[in-house]
Structure 1
Amino acid sequence: MRTGVRIALDWGAARIGVAACDAAGTLAYPIGTVKATTDRAATLRAVVELIAEREPFEVVVGLPRSLSGGEGPAAVAIRERAIELARSIAPIPVRLIDERLSTVSAARRLGESGRSAKKQRSVIDAAAATTILEHALASERATDQPPGEVVSAGTELS
C-alpha cells in the first residue's frame, strides 16, 4: 500500500464533492464542496487551489459509469475535466475511479445516521467523494496495485 495523502473528487454539475485521506491511507474523510460554475476555468482554479492546500501525491476522480459499466455523456464530461485537472496539477497523477452508486451509498449512510439527505446536497457530495476514496483505498489494499485508470495530461480533449 502506497503511503501519502490522496484527494478524491465527486465532480457534479452543481458541486464538486471533495474528500481526503490520512498519509497512511487508512481513513478517508469529507472536506467539503466546491461550487461548479458555468465558468469552467474558475471552477478548475478553485479545485486546483484546494488540492494544493492538501499537497496530495495523487487525486482520484469519480467516473460515473452506468450500472452496466458503460460510459454515457456524463462520463465523457468527467473524462474531459479530469484531463484538464491533470494538466493543471502535473506532475501529481489523476486517476479515474468507477463511482457507480457512490451518491446513493452516501445518501443512505447519511440517512442511517439520522441526517436528511434532501436538505444537505453539499454534504452528500462530500460524502460521495469519501465513498469514492474509500473504494480506491480498499481496491489498492486488495490488489496491491494503484486503483483505477491514470489520466494522461497529454490526452486530446474531444
Structure 2
Amino acid sequence: MTVLTLEELAASTPLGTPWLGLDLGEKTIGVAASDATRMIASPLVLIRKTKFTQDAEAVLKLMDGRKASGLVIGLPLNMDGSEGPRAQSCRAFARNLQRLRAVPVAFQDERLSTSAVERFLIEELDLNRKRRANVVDRTAAAWILQGALDRLRG
C-alpha cells in the first residue's frame, strides 16, 4: 500500500470510523484519536520508543482497540518545505508499518506543531516543564490530526 493524500484517505476508509494521528519523535510517539465522525481530535497516549516492531505493534493495537481505519502521521518538513532526516524517518516508519499490515496512511505537514502546542501549554494552561513533557507529544499528535480533519472540511 502506498501513502495516500488526505482526500484519498477519506475516500478509502469507512465512514463512521475514527483515525489515529501520530507525532513521531526521537524518543516517543504521541498518539491522538478522532471521534467516529472525524470532527474532533483528542490526545490519547504516549508511546515510549523501543524497537520498531514493538512500537508498530503498540500503534496497531491502538488502532484495533479504537477500530481506527487510518493513520495521519505528522511530517516534519523544513521551513522551506523540503524534507530533512526527520521527515525521511517518518516516511520510513510508515513504509515499515505498511509491511506489517496494509494500513491506510496519509501525512500532514507538522511544521511548528510542537512549538505551537508548547506555547499553548505555557501561556494558556500555565504548565511547568515537567508537566508539559508528559503531554506535549500526544497533544501535538492531536494538533496534527485536527489540522488534517479541518483541512478536509475546507
* 1:156 aligned partner: none
SS in 2 for 1:67: coil
Encode CA deviations 1:11-45: one digit per residue, 9 max, x unaligned. 111100000011111111000111112x2222222
Encode CA deviations 1:129-157: one digit per residue, 9 max, x unaligned. 00000110011001xxxxxxxxxxxxxxx
Compare the two structures and name the one with the higher helix fraction. Answer: 2
- The 2-side partners of 1:22 and 1:106 are apart by 21
* 2:45 aligned partner: 32
* 1:58 and 2:73 matched: no
Stretches of structure 2 that go unaligned for 5 or more consecutive residues are 1-6
CA RMSD across the alignment? 1.6
Q: Give aligned-pair identity as a percent.
A: 37
- The 2-side partners of 1:117 and 1:130 are apart by 20
Q: Is the 8 A contact 1:16 1:35 kept in 2?
A: yes
Could you list the structure 1 runs, at least 4 aligned residues long, displaced by more than 3 angstroms after superposition: none
Report how many residues are paired. 140
- The 1-side partners of 2:69 and 2:59 are apart by 15
Instruction: Specify which of 87, 102, 114 is matched with residue 113 of structure 2.
Output: 102
Q: Is the 8 A contact 1:110 1:117 kept in 2?
A: no
Greater relative contact order (CA < 8 Å, ≥ 6 in sequence): 2
| Shift in Å, 1:118 | 5.0
Encode CA deviations 1:84-129: one digit per residue, 9 max, x unaligned. 1223331x30111111011111111211222124543230000000
* 1:81 and 2:93 matched: yes
- The 1-side partners of 2:54 and 2:85 are apart by 22
Stretches of structure 1 that go unaligned for 5 or more consecutive residues are 143-158
- The 1-side partners of 2:44 and 2:129 are apart by 17
Instruction: Specify which of 147, 150, 153 is matched with residue 135 of structure 1.
Output: 147
- The 1-side partners of 2:127 and 2:53 are apart by 34
* 2:4 aligned partner: none
- The 2-side partners of 1:67 and 1:77 are apart by 17
Normalization by structure 1: what TM-score? 0.82
